[in-house]
Amino acid sequence: MASEVIVISDHARKEAGTVSVFPVLIHTDYARVIEDVRKVEDQFNSEMKTSIDTKTTADFPELGLAHVTAFTIPYCRPDRLSIMTRLTEITFFNDDYYDDAGVEKILDYNNHLRECFGGRAEDELTKASAVTKSKQLQASVLVEMHYIDSELARDMMLTYNRILEVTSLGKNAGLKSLDEYLPFRIGNSGIEVYQDMSCFGMGVKLTKEEKEKLDPIVIAAHNSTTLINDYHSWPKEVRKYFNEVQATGKADLPVNAVCIFMQTEGLSEQASRQRVREEIIAQQKSHLAMIQDLVEQEGPLPEKYYMYFKAAQYTASGSEYWAAITSRYPTKTELNQPEVIIVDGELKYESSEIQQTPKQIATTFNGIPESAKSIIESKVNGTSAHIPDIRHSPADGAQTHHLISDGQFREVINGHANVHTNGKANGTSQGEDLEVYEVTTGNFQRAPEDTVLAPYQYIASLPSKNIRNKFIDALNLWLGVPPLALSSIKRIVEYLHHSSLMLDDIEDNSTLRRGKPCTHMLYGNAQTINAANYAFVSAFAEVQNLQSPSAITIFIREVQNMHRGQSLDLSWKYHTHCPTVDEYMMMVDNKTGAMFRLCVQLMQAESSVPCQKITQSDFITQLGRYFQIRDDYQNLVSSEYTTQKGFCEDLDEGKISLPLIYTIMDSSPEASVVKGIFHHRLREGGLPLHLKEYILSQMEEKGALSATHSLLQKMQKELIEGLHRVEETFGSKNALVELMLRRLWV
């Protein structure tokens, strides 16, 4: 922890116009990290081919040049100030990069929509490659944090992952008050991650239970930080709103407390901004009052509690003082921006002579149906659920079909029916034979894909961590696979992955997948199997787009391995057979490892960097094993898995997992009881809760769960060592791969 800090004077705060009741401090080493900021700027702009200026440093009275981090984490340990500054700066760069990409998207909106139907795909993939580079820059800092303090770094990553799973860039619509708005903004603003960053910087460690206890107090301070950001960013958000209106004809209202007050209380813009400032003070006073209440209830609090509170306080007061002076947030005066009002859910300038009204979007958007626009926008914004884009050219020529229907002759040409009577009354007299006309056909007409794709589209739309695509992107920093080939490999993996999930859920009698009904529960077994087969064939068709002559051989070999491994898994379950640990590992190497080998081998075959350096190591084999064993373990102990798949769902399906093998591999009476439960379990409906609890207790008593956990931790160490060996062969670090691994740690 820093031995001392610099207190910003009341005079300086008054001159800046801040209202926070918390003190404003700055780290004593604030000048030392300016060079870190410049290095991040040079590196990011060089890698991303941009010229972004985040404007996160400013010339402060009595201080000179300073960065926002020195204000928001003034008690940061001196040896951690640099890495906290770099991580904060990279975060600002990423925010600005995506904002700039959004402006570019708006300006090229019409063309971009068409590109999503197939045109200029290589340009889109090149942009995706740039995004991967930006993630690599951030990942390198996050990995460095793990080496400094793995516990606090992991806390931050867990918070980050949790927020990503529930966050969406929602709109103000439906939020009827500030009380509804603030929890919504806490969830998607990233302030909780910054709290963990501050704790990392200060070295403050609290248990999960302690954090939950202090959450109501800390949230009040976070609310004030959110409102501070809303107040200072408002003019910038208004400018962005009208830029979008000018470019596309419409825009969503800013997600900002100023809008909330204008809409819900009917206040003017100026009055709403004043209400925001008043609420900043109210939230901070509430925070301090709750601390005092806690002290009165419990007596003197641990020092780490006070530091945890200060982390939230200085994030608020420091960010306000910084925002009031930095040029990152221009004022309405500096932008020469008139007052705005809200009319019919749209922002409008109060001055009629410069009124801007969003244009109405037609039913078809430049030739593209409005019904398709939301799907395209999801692709433009990078939020596609990886739904397959399988298109076929319609058959050329007319189709002529001669049909019998109620005594009428129908000739169908290009989908238009011409009806001819056959000279007889409709129907036939009793006893008269039905006159049959010859049916002739023209060109083949392909059936639409909507029905066959529906089950696939459903499972592809479910929430996913998307680990396989992240793995492919990370490896490509080494392998340099051309963009179109990389896209094909991703589609191959997606088709196979979702195909196997649909079939697995049927084979395992599962009812939940990622917290939602399994595909076959909605579409039936037969249609789901048909969709899974169609996805498999689509994967094979995609292989033909690859340039390497070995691609088909690789595909066939590894898909065969997947099915061989799956056959062992299913056979052991059906016959209640307990394999040896070595046999289990062989099954995993085939069933789970095959997908990772397929990714790597296809990428190496298409790589612009001739090498076989990854598959020559045991890194991929270890990764496949870790992935499966971790899944076995988490299924039994993780509350997240319980939510997504049900309590100990592997026991319901009778899966022979590694913890179960450890439990029943001996000849003890307890092992025999567990074997008997599995042998006589119901095929449908799984096991009763009390039997699952009994099996779980036996796993705990026999040390099966602890043995599995110990093995996983040993494998974690071996995976990092294996990754470092691969990094040595390539001559460069790959922080994205390491970060992906560390996010899986148990």
pLDDT computed for residue 3 by the predictor: 54
Q: Which residue, among 310, 264, 460, 392, has the nearest Cα to 253 in the 3D structure? A: 264
Q: Quick check: is 271 in a domain?
A: yes
pLDDT computed for residue 132 by the predictor: 81
Tell me, yes or no, whether 441 and 465 share the same domain. no
CB-based contact 418:411 (threshold 8 Å) = yes
Tell me, yes or no, whether 459 and 430 share the same domain. no
Q: Tokens at residue 195, please?
A: 């709290």
Domain boundary (327, 354, 381) is at 354
pLDDT computed for residue 612 by the predictor: 66
Q: Quick check: is 365 in a domain?
A: no
Q: Quick check: is 397 in a domain?
A: yes
Residue by residue, DSSP assigns 418-481 as EEEE-SS-SS--TTPPPPPPPP---S--PPPSHHHHHHHHHHHHS----HHHHHHHHHHHHH--
Tell me, yes or no, whether 255 and 345 share the same domain. yes
CB-based contact 508:523 (threshold 8 Å) = no
Q: Quick check: is 360 in a domain?
A: no
Q: Tokens at residue 375, please?
A: 């799907």
CATH number at residue 34: 1.10.600.10
Domain boundary (381, 411, 445) is at 445
498 burial level (CB within 10 Å; 0-12, 13-18, 19+): buried
pLDDT computed for residue 389 by the predictor: 44
* pLDDT tens digit sequence for 591-646: 999 999 999 999 999 998 877 678 767 899 999 999 999 999 999 999 888 887 78
Tell me, yes or no, whether 630 and 532 share the same domain. yes
Q: Quick check: is 441 in a domain?
A: yes
Tell me, yes or no, whether 532 and 631 share the same domain. yes
Tell me, yes or no, whether 426 and 459 share the same domain. no
Calpha distance 260→257 (Å, rounded): 5
Q: Tokens at residue 350, please?
A: 């109060």
* pLDDT tens digit sequence for 154-208: 999 888 877 665 544 445 557 889 999 999 999 888 899 999 999 999 999 999 9
Tell me, yes or no, whether 61 and 26 share the same domain. yes
Tell me, yes or no, whether 437 and 455 share the same domain. no
Binding residues for Mg(2+), as ranges, are 95, 504, 508
With tokens 């019904």, the residue in question is: 371
Calpha distance 470→493 (Å, rounded): 12
Residue by residue, DSSP assigns 664-675 as HSS--HHHHHHH
pLDDT above 50: residue 361:
no
Tell me, yes or no, whether 475 and 568 share the same domain. yes
Lowest mean pLDDT segment, chosen from 455-459, 462-466, 659-663, 716-720: 462-466
Instruction: For residue 342, report the phi and psi dihedrals to the nearest 5 degrees.
Output: -110, 120
Tell me, yes or no, whether 413 and 468 share the same domain. no
Q: Tokens at residue 297, please?
A: 């209830």
Binding residues, as ranges, are 95, 465, 468, 497, 504, 508, 513-514, 591-592, 628, 635, 645
For residues 156 and 397, the model is more confident at 156
Show the domain range for 46: 5-354
pTM of the model: 0.78
Domain boundary (303, 334, 354) is at 354
Q: Quick check: is 361 in a domain?
A: no
Domain count, the chain: 3
Binding residues for isopentenyl diphosphate, as ranges, are 465, 468, 497, 514
Q: Tokens at residue 226, please?
A: 């959110």
Q: Tell me the sheet residues that pair with 341.
A: 348
Q: Quick check: is 366 in a domain?
A: no
Q: Quick check: is 379 in a domain?
A: no
Binding residues for dimethylallyl diphosphate, as ranges, are 513, 591-592, 628, 635, 645
Q: Tokens at residue 649, please?
A: 């769902």
Q: Considering the chain, what percentage of its residues have pLDDT values greater than 90?
A: 68
Calpha distance 105→382 (Å, rounded): 12
Tell me, yes or no, whether 106 and 222 share the same domain. yes
Tell me, yes or no, whether 409 and 457 share the same domain. no
